[in-house]
Amino acid sequence: MTTWHWVRHGPTHQKTFTGWRDVPADLTDAGAVARLSAALPDEALIVSSDLGRCVSTADALAAGRTRLPHDPGLREFHFGAWDGVHFTKVSEQDDALSRAYWEAPGDHAPPGGESWSAAAVRVAAAVRRIEAAHRPAHIIVVAHFGVILTQVQATLGVTPTQAIAHRIDPLSVTTLRPGNGVVERINHLP
């Protein structure tokens, strides 16, 4: 059975929607990175989104682990026209869509972006592809807030609204065994 260790990339300090826009991660807290690395299995494979904040975080955790190629299927939700825009500005521009996007995630999408449902399908395809090539294994995936929550949703069998209620902090780990429906930990900060 495959065990997935979902790690959220290091902090970006962004105060705006940050989806496919490539911004760097702040990995200056060497102690936090070392604690996270120590909390993950040494024999695990490691893969990341192809966005720089995940690549650099995965590289910091990769020592002694087998590094798989970056996977664009693991990117954060595509926020389209909202990417780089402050949340309050988005709300001012289109309050109804902004509220629906967060309060009833599913099929609502930002202009030019993707919905929760579309992102979940994209991420699930990447997960199936990675698992088929490397099972059984422990797999560390350095990814994004939304991506990790789609996998919490899938493993728990809950709605997007229930999944989005979970907190996923930078440099946290969420450990899932979806084949058994087991959630070992969510948002663990070592």
Q: What distance in Å separates the CA atoms of residue 108 and residue 99, rounded to the nearest whole number? A: 10
pLDDT digits (tens, 9 = 90+) for 14-46: 999 999 999 999 999 999 999 999 999 999 999
Total count of domains within the chain: 1
SS3 78: coil
Per-residue 3-state assignment (H helix, E strand, C coil) for 134-189: CCCCEEEEEECHHHHHHHHHHHHCCCHHHHCCCCCCCCCEEEEECCCCEEEEEEEC
Tokens of 52: 């720089």
Whether residue 90 is predicted with pLDDT greater than 90 in this model: the reply is yes
Phi, psi values for residue 73, rounded to 5°: -70, -10
Q: pLDDT tens digit string along 98-109?
A: 999 999 999 999
For the cut 90, the answer to whether the pLDDT of residue 121 exceeds it is yes
d(CA 40, CA 47): 13
pLDDT given for residue 135 in this prediction = 86
The candidate with the shortest Cα–Cα distance to 189, out of 175, 165, 167, 173, is 173
User: Distance between CA 70 and CA 9 in Å, rounded?
Assistant: 13
Q: Band the pLDDT of 6: cuts 50, 70, 90.
A: very high
Q: Are 184 and 175 in contact (CB under 8 A)?
A: yes
127-148 confidence digits (pLDDT tens): 999 999 998 999 999 999 999 9
* pLDDT value for 122: 98
pLDDT score of 71 more than 90: yes
Residue 60 confidence class, pLDDT cut points 50, 70, 90:
very high
Residue 177 lies in domain: 3-188
Residue 158: band (very low, low, confident or very high) from pLDDT cuts 50, 70, 90: very high
Mean pLDDT of 111-132: 98
pLDDT for 12: 97
pTM, full prediction: 0.97
CATH code (residue 95)? 3.40.50.1240
Q: CA-CA distances (angstroms) from residue 112 to 6, 83, 109? A: 27, 10, 8
Cα distance between residue 79 and residue 6, in whole Å: 21
What rounded mean pLDDT belongs to the chain?
Answer: 97
Q: List the one residue out of 188, 173, 185 whose CA is nearest residue 9.
A: 173
**Residues present in the chain in total:** 190
The per-residue pLDDT for 165 is: 95
